[in-house]
Chain A
Amino acid sequence: MSWLEKAPGARSPAEEFFGHRADLMEEFKAFYGTLWDEAVLDPALLEMIRLAVARVHRCDAELAIRHEASGLSDAKRAALANWRSSDLFSDSERVCLAYAERIPFEHTAITDAEAEAVKDALGEAGYVAFSVAGSLFDAMCRVRMVMALEPVQGDALHPPASAKGVLR
């Protein structure tokens, strides 16, 4: 349980914290939610990246969020822990997963070749979205851990954020 009192009217552990600044939280939801609302990347790939970053952090609160409508299959979701040895993932997905796992603790060591590989896989605009998304997933894991936010319960069909939805 978080060490900070809960914001009134919160609908999730993240809102219990950010809801103390409700107007800013609404703006943050609009920004963060753009990743899903505007589908800046394939939602299944976005889900893979989010979970890959969360796995590096061992962030139970982030891992508990399941965006089931993302299109990420149960088989792939289950295989993410062993994606390097799994044959379920494409070469493009492997490149993205390897890069995503570097963001939490090795962001300064990412090479031009690694960046080029992701750009080849996603295109230039896709690489921009990927970089922003991966960095936000890392930061969200970290804020969940420092605030000791509880894993979200139920209501799994929705993305982690949406301009008009709940911040999970």
Chain B
Amino acid sequence: MSTTPRVSSAIAGEPAHFGSVLAHHPQLAERFTHLYGKFWDSDVLSARLKEVARMRNARVTECGFCRNVRFDKAIGEGLNETIVDDITEGYETSDNLTDTEKAVLKFTDALIHDPELLTGDARAALTRHLSPAQIAELGLGVTLFLALAKALITMGLEPEHMGRTELPTPAPAQAPS
């Protein structure tokens, strides 16, 4: 996996990162930023559950950038490092994760790794804990997390060194043109 950018920034004076590289296509960048902000701004599914899914995606796809970023909205909703540390193999037996979080993790694994993981019991657990609107929001989020992680990795935008970094939660930008 490369930690040397395979593409250059399209924004003068900025290093290559996802936003500056995506700026090679301004409309794609604008619409992604708007979508991602709207997704995180929605409270249909809590930011904590979204972050749990994002952390799982980061580990499975091996996205170092994704794994080290924490969004402040999820932290404000009680997500801490003890919980994050349990988002690994064997999360099913964690005492720190709620049953809803375990159902979210199973769905995430099924989407990003193997759809067969979403057995009848796992589907039942998911629909018991989440409404259809919440499952749709989760599905959209995991779709974006996965695509973002793979795009970052394949374009060589992974950091060589990065510690845990708390960032402001993405917010809706001005409506795109």
Query: Which A positions have Cβ atoms within 8 angstroms of B?
Result: 3-5, 7, 17-21, 23-25, 27-28, 30-31, 34-35, 38, 40, 103, 107-108, 110, 112, 115-116, 119, 124-125, 127-129, 131-132, 134-136, 138-140, 142-143, 145-147
Contacts and interface: CB of A to CB of B under 8 A. Distances in A.
B38 A23 contact: yes
Contacts of A110: 154
B136 interface: yes
Contact of B139 (A3, A17, A108): A17
A120 B139 CA distance: 35
B6 A24 contact: no
Nearest to B146: A139
Contact of A132 (B8, B22, B153, B156): B22
A124 B32 contact: no
B119 to A, nearest CB: 11
B115 A146 contact: yes
A147 B7 CA distance: 34
Contacts of B176: 30
Contacts, number: 146
Contact of A20 (B27, B28, B133, B144): B133
Looking at chain A's contact residues, the main secondary structure is: helix
A143 B136 contact: no
A115 B153 CA distance: 11
A119 B6 contact: yes
Contact of B136 (A20, A107, A125, A136): A20
Contact of B8 (A40, A124, A139, A142): A124
B112 interface: yes
Given A28-B35, A38-B28, A107-B154, A7 B112 contact: no
Nearest to A108: B1
A125 B24 contact: yes
A21 B133 contact: yes
B111 A146 contact: yes
A40 B155 contact: no
Interface string B10-41: 10000000000110110110011011001100
A124 B35 CA distance: 24
B24 A124 contact: yes
B171 interface: no
Contacts of B156: 112, 115
Given A38-B28, A136-B147, A18 B136 contact: yes
B154 A131 contact: yes
Given A24-B140, A142-B115, A30 B31 contact: yes
Nearest to A126: B24
Contacts of B38: 23-24, 27
Interface in B35-51: 35, 38-39, 42, 44
